Amino acid sequence: MRIGKRVFDLDAGKSLIMGILNVTPDSFSDGGKYFDVDSALLQTEQMIKDGADIIDVGGESTRPGYTKISWQDEVERIEPVIGAIKARFDVPVSVDTYKWQVADAAIACGADMINDIWGLDYYDDPEHHMAQVVADAGIPVCIMHNKSDRIISMDRDTFNREIIADMIKRIGIATENGVKDENIILDPGVGFAKNLEENIWCISLIRELKSLGYPVLLGISNKSIVGKITGLEVDQRKEGTIALNVLGREYGSRIFRVHDVLANKRALTVADSICG
């Protein structure tokens, strides 16, 4: 898969690390830490040194109960950061957004990939669509599972069938709008519209998602699944995050979206060697 100037062989057994860079005041794990360009650049430099293969820039928090902001405000937050990263570092930049306007602006200033938490299924303008923006740019998109009208607490088989059916639908949206198969990544959406039991099921569901023929990204860094299992607060969930990422690697995920790049890079390097 080509992301920006780099080509990654996702069948070679090496895990890719996507470092999270939230330029927001209110993200659940690192809100406010990298809200200005200088601090964002320092964090980017550190994540690259620690082994990040991709930097994922987010301008709107999507934590539970988040406050939605306008696409204009989101663009205002991320544009200078994307531009500064692309000017200083040779690293692919992903943008975490579900708004086509933000994606369009991000791509114009150098973004190499879009990470969509609504899996191309968020509509706010009948004349435009995220899938069209991504297809026109010819860049990769991560399609994450999310749903606003799910009935929580279903049995495991029903849950698995629903997730797979939803993802097939979203893949269809992508390809019908011209997104190439080689530019599609899937994400089971741990932490979104799911209870604890369903979030746990999502880890093993990676095998079924991978069987659809696309690489799978796992984004579980510091999330409530770790907190509910361990009883630990956000700043104490590093070990739990690593454990779930290593399990995700065994089940077939190859891209891992994390806050702590160095620790996860080291753990997944070992997992790659054993699993490979």
Q: Which residues are catalytic?
A: 223, 257
> Looking at the DSSP assignment, which residues form a beta bridge with residue 2?
7
pLDDT tens-digit series, residues 48-105: 999 999 999 999 987 666 678 999 999 999 999 999 999 999 999 999 999 999 999 9
User: Hey, what CATH topology would domain 2-275 get?
Assistant: TIM Barrel (3.20.20)
The predicted model scores a pTM of: 0.93
pLDDT for 31 equals 47
Tell how strand 54-58 and strand 16-22 pair up.
parallel
pLDDT for 128 equals 78
> SS3 for 164?
helix
* Residues 250 and 207: beta-carbon distance below 8 Å: no
CB hemisphere CA count around 195 (13 angstroms)? 9
Place of tokens 């663009």: 75
DSSP code per residue over 53-76: SEEEEESS--STTPPP--HHHHHH
Q: What is the pLDDT along the chain (276 residues), one digit of tens a residue?
A: 999 999 999 888 899 999 999 998 754 445 445 568 999 999 999 999 999 999 999 999 876 666 789 999 999 999 999 999 999 999 999 999 999 999 999 999 999 999 999 999 887 776 779 999 999 999 999 999 998 876 666 799 999 999 999 999 999 999 999 999 999 999 999 999 899 999 999 999 999 999 999 999 999 999 999 999 999 999 999 999 999 999 999 999 999 999 999 999 999 999 999 987
Domain boundaries, the chain: 2-275
The DSSP 8-state label assigned to residue 227 in this structure reads: H
pLDDT for 70 equals 92
Closest CA to 254 of 266, 234, 268, 235: 268
pLDDT tens-digit series, residues 257-270: 999 999 999 999 99
DSSP code per residue over 107-145: HHTT--EEEETTTT---S-TT--HHHHHHHHT--EEEE-
> Looking at the DSSP assignment, which residues form a beta bridge with residue 58?
22, 96
Tally Cβ neighbours within 10 Å of residue 45.
14
